[in-house]
Amino acid sequence: MPSFANPLKRPADDDEAPWSARKRPSLAPGHEEYWMVTWRNPQTKKHKTWEGDAVLARDVKKAILYDIDGRQISLGSIEGALEEGREYSVGGKEIELDRTITKADFTSGRCFGNGLGGSTPATAASAVRTKSNFVPPMRKLPVQNAEKKGIPLQPVDLASRVNTPSAATTVEQTSAKAVPPTYWTANWRKQQSKAHKTWDGDAFVSHIDGKLTMINEDGKVMGFTVLRGQQPHSGFQMYIGGKEVELDCQIPQSQFPGPRCEGGNEDLKPEPEPEPTKTTINTKSFYGISKPRPAGPLHNPDAEGAVIMKAPTEDHIKKHNTKDRPIVPVVLDPILARKMRDHQREGVKFLYESVMGLRKHEGQGCILADEMGLGKTLQTIALVWTLLKQNPYSGVGPVIKKVMIVCPVSLVNNWKSEFYKWLGRDRMGIATCSKDPVELHAFKNSPTHQVLVIGYERLRSMVNKSEKLRCFPQIDLIICDEGHRLKSSQNKTTKMFKDFKTRRRIILSGTPIQNDLSELHAMTEFCNPGLFDDYPTFRRVYEIPILKSRAPGASAKEVELGDARTTQLLRIAKSFVLRRDADLLKNYLPPKHEYVVFITPTPLQLEIFRKILNPDKMDDLIEQSTTAESLAMIGVLTKISNSPILLRATAENAKGKPSSMFHKRNFTDATSLVPENAHIEDMKLSGKLIALSKMLEVIRETTEEKCVLVSHYTSTLNILEAFCRKMRYSYFRLDGQTPQAQRQEYVNAFNKSNQRGGFIFLLSSKAGGVGINLIGASRLCLIDSDWNPSHDLQSMARCHRDGQKRPVFIYRFLTAGAIDEKIYQRQVTKLALSDSLIGSATNASKSDTFTRKDLRDIFRVHTDTPSNTHDLLDCPCDEGRSSDDASTSGRENISDGQDDAGESDDENFKGGFVNATQVTPNYLGKLDKAYLEKKKAGLAALEEWKHVNCLADAAKDLIQDAILRELLYTDGTQDPSNSRRSNGQTGNLLAAIDLDQIRADVTIKSVGEVPGGTITFVFEKTVNKPLESE
């Protein structure tokens, strides 16, 4: 059988149309343009790629796109002028213009096939393509066609194109090899259409073998392109990766950040790959099998500043390395390590050792209880990134594959932003589960989504469904932000995690223990189940002995047993609880000044308190009221302390409720005292709001600073918002009604604006008190306090964070003698409990329990004292106070147990509103002195603060804050210090007088002598002092 022979081609006729005419339809007459372009089909993926090169021929009517073989692939039209580097669409194909070509190149066909090199002769380009032995046959155009079109043609020697390199080719290759590589700094920007264009950022550009590569400062490649026929120079502009780039200046190679290669150890450089071999793909899988990564650490452990995690112990190896795999160091990513502080690196090591089971306690969970501002989020991100990419045992993949972060709903987007901030948008897939379940399904099914961020309420609703956890993949690590929500083992939030079998669990909380030891047991049971046995056992072994030892009158044996159990509990907790205070930031942040400001109520507030808290009816109110009514009463008293106008609004809302307490006589009488013509923006009804309005005015007129005003009630925020509109203060507001998408937008706008653009930020503590950074403000005022100290601490920590440039001033406003002080006293006692168990504070307080008389004490108002809290401290710093105030506070009587020491007759004692004339030693003798002593012990932490009686003449010299000094009450008398300005003999005599002693001898004014809204007392504390002041 004869061998196969190629079919002969039919000879061309002389009158047959030329090859170029058959392949390319003729263009309409007129202005014609020809371009070399790159093209692709429309794509929806993030990082788009090009299909190949093409040629665009365009006239006034149409545009035709040809592939490199001369076949037409698209037909359409393009309006307007064409610009190099821009992208267009032609007949459903996306193109990017590279450079123009001549009509002669297009007509002769030199732009197609091996003629892609442009206007260079065909023989010059052929030598570069040494791998290709096939050359598309090019048809010589008839002479008559050439004469008709007037286009000179060049003869083509197919043999020389394939086999014989020309002299031009040799010269070109020699010159290309002779050009040394150069490195440049550059500016880049995305394509802009505005008149005054701006640059988006800086970058580095390398020119090696005719290829331009642009990378950022971290070594990440941003794009590359081929530079043909030109040499880069300063000011040279081009397009790289769709971005406009302009070279700035040339730099040496040593200053050029190379591709991202961590460490720099030469031994870790990958060996050169062998010549590619043709491999087949398994028919069972669409994707090829990736080559296994060689055994070894992901990052260089010998590099300078490398953070190396603890190596597995022998017990850990026996349990988890049964196949005797190589053990490699686990190194924190240097990109993160060089941006972290020392305490943050130590925190990552603690978290890693805990979840890997390398610490002393049994379990793989822990509690990171750092105070606000220490970077718990960054430490957590570093841990997650390390576990997702590394494993101490080589060849088994990463330690974890799926992570779930549960947080308040207001922080979901903040967590996503933090991941993008520290790791970039391309290194990790983040899914945020909202009402749309699409992202949850993507997290379950997609290998590129490793982290799920979800709110507590959303997770609880999904777990409660009938399908339960079917929509969840296997979770390898659970992280609970603001984990003090798990303080009770019986609440729904804690119970929902029982359906998860995940052993690695982390709690993040700045205030982990807020009330009692049962909260510590509940959180420990979540992260390390069974470590403290069940709660009855924990209560019998630890809680009861510790509480008995802290109670007043405890015996020596009870104290000894309690101290021993406390030591044992601290030893166990130290293994899985890490707590650092904000003193670590003193080298990084400006100082923070905290002030507790006691303010006198207005006469209207005092009269309303007198009507509601009638001593004759107080016993009935306490004994007959239910728990719900008592809580409602506390809320009403708190709103009255903020502004009496809130009492009228609350009464109007309660009209349709027959069982409401507002139908009682004392409440109706109190409500009638509020003026009918009072407006919501009226700040003169409340003492705290009077002082606040003065403070805002002073800040606005004397400084360029901005303020954050925090309240737990949206009704109080409504008053402040109306006041801002009245005074034309620019402001932002964030509360529960603010859409999630706009919250971070408001925060960013406030931080970037000046005082004129955003003077005040109104913040609801429950909606935005956690997670957000308001570093644009340097002054924060807490209008009212919450029973839970964590809410207030979180709110007050919004300004003193990384990025803050100014000294920060935190003000807590309290109505003197009213319920505000009782709430604050309870907070101090709760914080003493937390610090005594897991903190580093050395408080003298050992009282962390509460008695049944608390409710009676809450409903008692002290009218003639500058600060009831200071009176309870029995502090000797204020011996110069007036005789009226001394008799009112009864400080001497509280500490003196001689009169009626054994009497505590609650039946004859009347609580409620206490007048100064009723306060006698006999009256005080009926108080429970043990109860008052216990409160004094619980407030022992306040002895570390500086106490200033603002009714004394020397108060201005004792307060550091210039704004508060401007708000102090003055009665118009001349300051003795002004006499120093006198001249002559009188001035010389007065200069020799000890004016400080004169101020100390001046009698302190009484509370009854000053108007409402006067600052009567201040507690001051400065933290994070600058180094030079220490």
pLDDT tens digits, 490-512: 777 788 888 888 999 999 988 77
pLDDT value at position 220?
85
User: Which of the given ranges, 10-14, 494-498, 542-546, 905-909, has the highest pLDDT on average?
Assistant: 542-546
Beta strands in 880-1009 (DSSP E): 913-914, 946-949
Position 350 confidence tier, pLDDT thresholds 50, 70, 90: very high
- Give the whole-angstrom CA distance, residue 538 versus residue 572: 13
pLDDT value at position 1009?
79
**8 Å CB contact between 373 and 585:** yes
Write the DSSP assignment of 450-494 as a string of letters. EEEEEEHHHHHHHHTSTTGGGGS---SEEEEETGGGG--TTSHHH
Residue 660 and residue 777 in one domain? no
Q: Specify the higher pLDDT residue, 86 or 941.
A: 86
DSSP character at residue 289: P
Lowest mean pLDDT among 200-214, 841-855, 1002-1016: 841-855
Q: Specify the higher pLDDT residue, 741 or 71.
A: 71
pLDDT value at position 117?
43
Amino acid identity of residue 21, one-letter, is: A
Q: Which residues contact 967 (CB under 8 A, 6 or more apart)?
A: 691, 694, 695, 698, 1015
Rg from Cα positions in the chain: 39
DSSP character at residue 331: B
pLDDT value at position 471?
67
Residue 166 and residue 251 in one domain? no
Residue 163 and residue 186 in one domain? no
Q: Which candidate, 413, 578, 410, 584, places its Cα nearest to that of 482?
A: 410
Residue 470 and residue 373 in one domain? yes
**8 Å CB contact between 605 and 821:** no
Position 891 confidence tier, pLDDT thresholds 50, 70, 90: very low
* Domain end point (choices 506, 532, 558): 532
* Domain end point (choices 511, 532, 553): 532
CA 500, chain centre distance (Å): 27
Is residue 954 predicted with pLDDT exceeding 70? Answer: yes
Q: What's the CATH code of the domain at 455?
A: 3.40.50.10810
Q: Which candidate, 379, 370, 374, places its Cα nearest to that of 579?
A: 370
Q: Give the residues across from 757 on adjacent strands.
A: none
Position 301 confidence tier, pLDDT thresholds 50, 70, 90: very high
Position 152 confidence tier, pLDDT thresholds 50, 70, 90: low
- Give the whole-angstrom CA distance, residue 399 versus residue 929: 59
Residue 313: CA count within 13 A, CB half-sphere: 8
Check residue 92 and give left, alpha or beta (phi > 0: left; psi -120 to 50: alpha).
left
Angle between helices 342-355 and 376-389 (to 10 degrees): 50
Is residue 742 predicted with pLDDT exceeding 60? Answer: yes
pLDDT value at position 931?
59
- Count helices and strands in the chain by DSSP H and E runs: 38, 29
Helix, strand, or coil (residue 119): coil
Q: What domain range is 457 assigned to?
A: 314-532
Phi, psi of 432 (to 5 degrees): -115, 115
- Give the whole-angstrom CA distance, residue 844 versus residue 858: 24
- Give the whole-angstrom CA distance, residue 912 versus residue 895: 22
Residue 80 and residue 167 in one domain? yes
CA 1023, chain centre distance (Å): 23
**8 Å CB contact between 393 and 325:** yes
**8 Å CB contact between 744 and 752:** no
Q: How many CB atoms lie within 10 A of CB 356?
A: 21
In a domain, 832, yes or no: no
Q: Specify the higher pLDDT residue, 602 or 928.
A: 602
Is residue 514 predicted with pLDDT exceeding 90? Answer: no
Q: What's the CATH code of the domain at 765?
A: 3.40.50.300
- Give the whole-angstrom CA distance, residue 295 versus residue 333: 18
Is residue 935 predicted with pLDDT exceeding 90? Answer: no
Q: How many domains does the chain have?
A: 5
Is residue 268 predicted with pLDDT exceeding 50? Answer: no
CA 887, chain centre distance (Å): 50
CA dihedral sign, ordered 894, 898, 904, 909: negative
Q: How many CB atoms lie within 10 A of CB 275?
A: 4
Residue 366 and residue 419 in one domain? yes
Residue 519 and residue 609 in one domain? no
In a domain, 489, yes or no: yes
Residue 171 and residue 183 in one domain? no
Q: Which candidate, 716, 700, 718, 811, places its Cα nearest to that of 756?
A: 700
**8 Å CB contact between 762 and 725:** no
Q: Specify the higher pLDDT residue, 27 or 276.
A: 276
pLDDT value at position 86?
87
Helix, strand, or coil (residue 322): coil
**8 Å CB contact between 234 and 248:** yes
Q: Which candidate, 894, 888, 889, places its Cα nearest to that of 935?
A: 894
In a domain, 408, yes or no: yes
**8 Å CB contact between 50 and 81:** no
- Tell me which residue has tokens 């964030």: 734
pLDDT value at position 884?
43
Is residue 186 predicted with pLDDT exceeding 70? Answer: yes
Tokens representing residue 105 in the block: 């190149």
- Give the whole-angstrom CA distance, residue 484 versus residue 1014: 37
pLDDT value at position 15?
44
Residue 138 and residue 196 in one domain? no
pLDDT value at position 438?
74
Q: Specify the higher pLDDT residue, 110 or 913.
A: 110
Q: Specify the higher pLDDT residue, 385 or 873.
A: 385
Lowest mean pLDDT among 111-115, 187-191, 1018-1022: 111-115
Q: Which long-range contacts (CB under 8 A, 24 or more apart) does 335-339 make?
A: 335/218, 335/262, 336/378, 336/381, 336/382, 336/385, 336/422, 336/423, 337/305, 337/306, 337/307, 337/382, 338/305, 339/422
Tokens representing residue 681 in the block: 């923006």
Q: How many CB atoms lie within 10 A of CB 303?
A: 15
Is residue 375 predicted with pLDDT exceeding 70? Answer: yes
Tokens representing residue 490 in the block: 């019986």
**8 Å CB contact between 637 and 670:** no
**8 Å CB contact between 942 and 869:** yes
- Give the whole-angstrom CA distance, residue 923 versus residue 927: 7
Q: Give the residues across from 505 on adjacent strands.
A: 365, 478
CA 12, chain centre distance (Å): 75
pLDDT tens digits, 638-687: 888 899 888 888 877 777 666 566 667 777 788 888 888 888 888 999 99
**Angstrom distances, CA of residue 593 to CA of 161, 306, 786, 824, 1021:** 82, 37, 21, 18, 6
Position 1005 confidence tier, pLDDT thresholds 50, 70, 90: low
Beta strands in 619-749 (DSSP E): 707-711, 731-734
Helix, strand, or coil (residue 330): coil
pLDDT, average across residues 401-422: 90
pLDDT value at position 276?
58
Q: How many CB atoms lie within 10 A of CB 56?
A: 26
Q: DSSP H helical segments within 703-759, as ranges? A: 714-727, 740-752
SS (H, E, C) 386-415: HHHHCCCECCCCCCCCCEEEEECHHHHHHH
Is residue 306 predicted with pLDDT exceeding 90? Answer: yes
Q: How many CB atoms lie within 10 A of CB 494?
A: 18
579-590 burial, b at 16+ Cβ within 10 Å, e below that, comes to bbebebbbeebb
In a domain, 426, yes or no: yes
Tokens representing residue 252 in the block: 């040496």
pLDDT value at position 287?
57
**8 Å CB contact between 590 and 808:** yes
Is residue 907 predicted with pLDDT exceeding 80? Answer: no
In a domain, 883, yes or no: no
pLDDT tens digits, 91-113: 889 999 988 888 888 887 778 86
pLDDT above 90: percentage of residues in the chain: 25
- Tell me which residue has tokens 């050439």: 146
- Give the whole-angstrom CA distance, residue 425 versus residue 415: 13
Residue 965: CA count within 13 A, CB half-sphere: 10
What is the pLDDT of the chain when averaged over all its residues? 76
Is residue 138 predicted with pLDDT exceeding 90? Answer: no
Is residue 367 predicted with pLDDT exceeding 90? Answer: yes
Residue 744 and residue 795 in one domain? yes
Lowest mean pLDDT among 857-866, 978-987, 1003-1012: 978-987
SS (H, E, C) 522-591: HHHHHHCCCCCCCHHHHHHHHHHHHHHHHCCCCCHHHHHHHHHHHHHHHHHHHHHEECCCHHHHHHCCCC
**8 Å CB contact between 1015 and 967:** yes
User: Which of the given ranges, 145-154, 347-356, 853-862, has the highest pLDDT on average?
Assistant: 347-356
**Angstrom distances, CA of residue 385 to CA of 391, 543, 574:** 11, 38, 25
Is residue 908 predicted with pLDDT exceeding 50? Answer: no
* Domain end point (choices 238, 255, 272): 255
Is residue 977 predicted with pLDDT exceeding 90? Answer: no
In a domain, 1012, yes or no: no
pLDDT value at position 647?
86
pLDDT value at position 759?
95
Tokens representing residue 446 in the block: 């997609």
Tokens representing residue 649 in the block: 């609004």
Residue 235 and residue 154 in one domain? no
**8 Å CB contact between 293 and 398:** no
**8 Å CB contact between 1016 and 599:** yes
pLDDT, average across residues 943-964: 86
Q: Specify the higher pLDDT residue, 771 or 92.
A: 92
Q: Specify the higher pLDDT residue, 834 or 1011.
A: 1011
Beta strands in 844-910 (DSSP E): 861-862
pLDDT value at position 989?
42
Residue 493 and residue 622 in one domain? no
pLDDT tens digits, 422-475: 999 888 889 887 666 677 777 888 888 899 999 888 888 887 764 555 667 889
In a domain, 879, yes or no: no
Q: Specify the higher pLDDT residue, 401 or 60.
A: 401
In a domain, 11, yes or no: no
pLDDT, average across residues 478-483: 91
